[in-house]
Structure 1
Amino acid sequence: MVNRFILNETSYHGAGSIKEIANEAQQRGFKKAFICSDPDLVELGVSKKVLDVLEENKLAYQLYSNIKPNPTIENVQSGVAAYKEAEADYIIAIGGGSSMDTAKAIGIIINNPEFADVKSLEGVADTKNKAVPIIAVPTTAGTAAEVTINYVITDVENNRKMVCVDPHDIPVIAVVDPEMMSTMPKGLTAATGMDALTHAIEGYITAGAWELSDMFHLKAIEIIARSLRSAVKNEAQGREDMALAQYIAGMGFSNVGLGIVHSMAHPLGALYDTPHGIANAIILPAVMEYNAEATGDKYKYIAQVMGVEGTEEMSQAEYRQAAVEAVRKLAADVNIPADLSEIVKEEDIKFLAKSAYEDACRPGNPKETSVEDISELYKSLI
């Protein structure tokens, strides 16, 4: 069997690493940056940290901020037009998954104009050219979009999220600077951190997992388990550790896939605009229980790296449950809601389950599933 692994050409890590953006732009001969950043980050002055670096080095740029939390087809289309008008030659994406996903779609369409219909990018699009060079600067410790070959765009007309998978969209450079994440509020830190944990756990047990990806995912789970509570308290070491952990998780899952936690979370974002990390965090323990029988002894190692003692003396059923409870406790400790009762309407479950089953992440689930199974999982959470 042949396994493929795709990562950034270059990544920078550590406080102050955004200064390297200027060096990279100059060394690569870039002339003008198209900055993708959501309006909240612009208003809060977070994006300005990068803009200051560009201005100090006399590097030209054009700011684009028509980006919603769950970016839409319209956000991408208007971004493509704005990029062309700006006459830029590279993109800097500043933000969480929303900014980076928008940047990826814009970059792909600019260099593959035959995919101007954004809907044509869904699934595995057969693009021929690499996206416009992207420098990705995450401001949340969760999505790892700066190191993945995936992006998600919302089809508002049909109340659904389109999962796009394309090796040509991966950012050329990732700049993971924890100082860019220091202004995240507690709730967002918790939600994005649990998103990273979901990536790590789903990537670890997905059908496509193998020894190299397992190495990344287990390490990410370990760091998140010990650091997320600290990061939520806005402690510097916790922030730095989470910045690294979410990137490590991204290195893994981007190359092996995810499962039905993400399949079930995507329709919630499309229909109710539910924050992706919150949806994942609530769904994760229930799906872990559902998938347990198809995971061999992997839950034992999840439990171990999450700090559960005595796993070697536990039965398979015991260490599987211990892993689930460790995840539930972490979620509770960072104030994640326990269920979907405040989000999901029972009359929507049929639509949600069908959408989740059709989602691109579903085939990676370690256990064969059905629309009916997914429907029951939703019902168990309301």
Structure 2
Amino acid sequence: MANCITLNQTSYHGAGAIQSIPDEVKAHGLTKAFVCSDPDLIKFGVTKKVTDVLEAAELEYEIYSNIKPNPTIENVQTGVAAFKESGADYFIAIGGGSSMDTAKAIGVIINNPDFEDVRSLEGVAPTTKPTVPIIAVPTTAGTAAEVTINYVIKDDEKQRKFVCVDPKDIPVVAIVDPDMMSSMPYGLTASTGMDALTHAIEGYITKGAWEMTDMFHIKAIEVISRSLRAACENDPKGREDMALGQYIAGMGFSNVGLGIVHSMAHALGAVYDTPHGVANAILLPTVMAYNADATGTKYKDIAIAMGVEGVEDMTQEEYRKAAVDAVAQLSKDVKIPQDLKEIVKQEDLDFLVDSAYNDACAPGNPKDASKEDIKALYQSLM
């Protein structure tokens, strides 16, 4: 079977990259932007950094802000109606995964109206037309939604999140500007950064991994592990490196999938609205330990990329433990909670297990996890 890589047509990286937006808009012959951005980014003036650029270039736009941290079917459906009324012909998605996932879903439905129920987009939906053009401007260094073919929507009625995988949803342009991330508070920087590390590690060990994606993932692990602590302290170099590291991780995992860290985290987000990065960070070391015996020598590479010393002299058991310990230490250093005691209720456990087991990310895990395995993993953190 042939391997496939799908990436952005164009991406810009570095401080001031948002100044390139007008050139891209004009090059694509676009006229009016539908700006998807969440209320907090608007409130704190982050969105304005981009709309100021649009105004200076005399480009029309309309803002849509009915977006939740875990975007819902309702957010998407009201967005579809608002887009139709706006007269816009492209999106600028400003934010973390929430804004970009909302824009992707709206854009796909606009050009594929048979999927307006939203739920039918789950999995690999048989859409026929690409999304309305999206220019994606991340404000967090974590989701890499600006370079992925994935998006996640929450179904409030069924208390579940579902993953949509569609190469037709990828933004045409990614603007990865660390200046857009400078206002992230410590906790959000930490959790989104650990989300990016989870992408890199799960992508590196997933069943679908191959040489080209391995190249992306191991470099992303190296960059993220050396930069996250500094980024949390708002160090400019740390911010810039994290912006790059999370993007590189996205180039990989988008094309090969993830594993049960993500499937278990999706369940927590659906039931408790747990921030996705926090859920991933709590779960990652425990699931890594569970997966270790199905990863060959890859934990040796992870340990080296994370800066562990003396790895070449370690036994397989030692370097696997060293890789897990390095991830756990980074999580502690950036003040991520270390267990699920304050999150998971015992009475919800079976529902969480079923949701995680049936999640689209679960089949990519390097070893097949039964419901009993997933339950035991949750319980070990309770």
Task: Judge same fold: TM > 0.5, yes or no.
Answer: yes
Following superposition, the deviation at residue 2 of structure 1 comes to 0.5
1:319 aligns with 2:316: no
Structure-to-structure mapping, 1:112-131, within 5 angstroms: 112-131=112-131
Name the SS of the counterpart of 2:321 in structure 1: helix
Name the SS of the counterpart of 1:337 in structure 2: coil
Partner of 1:334: 334
Name the SS of the counterpart of 2:66 in structure 1: coil
Partner of 1:31: 31
Following superposition, the deviation at residue 261 of structure 1 comes to 0.1
Partner of 1:110: 110
- Write the distance in 2 (CA, Å) between the matches of 1:329 and 1:160: 31
Partner of 1:361: 361
- Write the distance in 1 (CA, Å) between the matches of 2:111 and 2:179: 32
Write the letter of the residue equivalent to 1:362. Answer: A
Following superposition, the deviation at residue 336 of structure 1 comes to 0.4
Deviant stretches of 4+, over 2 Å: none
Partner of 2:192: 192
Structure 2: segments with no counterpart, 5+ residues: none
Name the SS of the counterpart of 1:274 in structure 2: coil
1:27-85 Cα shifts (integer Å, max 9, x gaps): 21101000000000000000000000000000000100000000000000000000000
Partner of 2:220: 220
Residue correspondences, number: 382
Name the SS of the counterpart of 1:2 in structure 2: coil
Write the letter of the residue equivalent to 2:335. Answer: N
Following superposition, the deviation at residue 346 of structure 1 comes to 1.2
Partner of 1:252: 252
Write the letter of the residue equivalent to 1:254. Answer: S
Name the SS of the counterpart of 1:360 in structure 2: coil
Partner of 2:304: 304
Following superposition, the deviation at residue 135 of structure 1 comes to 0.1
- Write the distance in 1 (CA, Å) between the matches of 2:366 and 2:326: 20
Partner of 1:162: 162
Partner of 2:148: 148
Partner of 1:44: 44
1:77 aligns with 2:57: no
Name the SS of the counterpart of 1:184 in structure 2: coil
- Write the distance in 2 (CA, Å) between the matches of 1:305 and 1:377: 26
Following superposition, the deviation at residue 9 of structure 1 comes to 0.3
Percent of pairs identical after alignment? 73
Write the letter of the residue equivalent to 1:42. Answer: I
Following superposition, the deviation at residue 224 of structure 1 comes to 0.7
Partner of 2:269: 269
- Write the distance in 2 (CA, Å) between the matches of 1:84 and 1:45: 26
- Write the distance in 1 (CA, Å) between the matches of 2:380 and 2:351: 16
- Write the distance in 2 (CA, Å) between the matches of 1:69 and 1:256: 25
1:18 aligns with 2:13: no
- Write the distance in 1 (CA, Å) between the matches of 2:61 and 2:261: 38
Structure-to-structure mapping, 1:276-291, within 5 angstroms: 276-291=276-291
Partner of 2:375: 375
Write the letter of the residue equivalent to 2:191. Answer: A
- Write the distance in 2 (CA, Å) between the matches of 1:305 and 1:72: 37
Output the TM-score relative to the length of structure 1.
1.00
Q: What is the aligned-residue RMSD (CA, Å)?
A: 0.4
- Write the distance in 2 (CA, Å) between the matches of 1:36 and 1:84: 14
Structure 1: segments with no counterpart, 5+ residues: none
Write the letter of the residue equivalent to 2:62. Answer: Q
Following superposition, the deviation at residue 186 of structure 1 comes to 0.2
Name the SS of the counterpart of 1:158 in structure 2: coil
Partner of 1:95: 95
- Write the distance in 2 (CA, Å) between the matches of 1:115 and 1:311: 50
1:284-316 Cα shifts (integer Å, max 9, x gaps): 000000000000000001000101111111110
Write the letter of the residue equivalent to 1:107. Answer: G
- Write the distance in 1 (CA, Å) between the matches of 2:74 and 2:305: 42
1:80-136 Cα shifts (integer Å, max 9, x gaps): 000000011000000000000000000000000111110000011000000000000
Following superposition, the deviation at residue 214 of structure 1 comes to 0.3
Write the letter of the residue equivalent to 1:97. Answer: G
1:135 aligns with 2:135: yes
Following superposition, the deviation at residue 26 of structure 1 comes to 1.2
Following superposition, the deviation at residue 347 of structure 1 comes to 1.2
Name the SS of the counterpart of 1:225 in structure 2: helix
- Write the distance in 1 (CA, Å) between the matches of 2:12 and 2:341: 41
- Write the distance in 2 (CA, Å) between the matches of 1:216 and 1:28: 29
1:5-29 Cα shifts (integer Å, max 9, x gaps): 0000000000000010111101211
Write the letter of the residue equivalent to 1:134. Answer: I
- Write the distance in 2 (CA, Å) between the matches of 1:203 and 1:27: 34
- Write the distance in 2 (CA, Å) between the matches of 1:269 and 1:376: 19
- Write the distance in 2 (CA, Å) between the matches of 1:33 and 1:286: 43
